[in-house]
Structure 1
Amino acid sequence: YMCCIKTHIDIVDDFDHDLIVQLQQLADKHDFLIWEDRKFADIGNTVRLQYSSGIYKIASWAHITNAHLVPGEGIITGLSSVGRPLGRGLLLLAEMSAAGNLATGEYTTKNVEAARRHPEFVMGFVAMKRVDELEPTAGGVAAGEGPDYVIMTPGVGLDVKGDGMGQQYR
């Protein structure tokens, strides 16, 4: 069984709307969610348009998407204005598995704080651990005390692996 399929729709060479229809039919038939790993990272109005419009119209078919908090909480507001009425959810990129990435420390803490301010749309994090329950990123909220979040951990496996480009899977 699977609970979720992660897509990178912008790298599909022969993308057309029929692919989305087929993907939605499979999701309905097999009861799984679709996560478009878009990693939004722009200002609120721009991401609102990227999410709702253009060739992909991500909000119309992806149950979940994700975003970097680098541009500030306006990114959550912009995405939420489209996704929340459709029952969609957002994962914040609180940590990353790439070697040398900057999503650490205070940046990770800011993601947790922002998620707590937007519980109606932020459903969790992309992170290497439970950032919402571990000090110092939990912001003083004890384990089991705050809201429940989904933690999507990249590259989970039994062996430590990489991709030769700085990706570190564990």
Structure 2
Amino acid sequence: MALYDDALPQVYGYLLARCGRRALAEDLTAETFLAAVAACRRTPPPVPSTGWLVGIARHKLVDHWRAAERERRGLRAIESEPDPPDDPWDERLDALLARQVLDDQSGTHRAALTLRYLDGLPVPEVARALGRTVGATEALLVRARAAFRRSYTALGEGGGR
């Protein structure tokens, strides 16, 4: 119970900062703790800690984005051509606009960008979290950055909603 009280704000805060929606963060927090309880019933049980719970939360968020992406693919085809990887883009991003653009990306792109740039994971760990090879993840990140850049530029030039 003490771990729950200590970890709840950190797990919820982690999820809220990445998804930006309270209801979704609350649902994913609940799923995180349910998954933790299920894991603790296994033999041998893991050693529960706040970091371990945040790791579960990360996986729940990635799973959510994957499911959202599968749903989006069912509704429409996604087209994107990657920009050259050496394209310099050093502008300072407006945080609110960046959040809006990130939320509008496909689930796979959002997951890759979040894990790599918000969580600061190295590409091999991003690949492991997404269930991809390192090469496929590097290509995904190139496409995700290009899609983010296009959307950010379009919204920044007055093309917002």
Q: TM-score, normalised on structure 2?
A: 0.30
Query: Which has a greater percent of helix?
Result: 2
The structure where strand makes up a greater share of residues is 1
Q: If you compute each CA radius of gyration, which structure gives the higher value, 1 or 2?
A: 2
Q: Which has the higher contact order (CA 8 A, sep 6+)?
A: 2
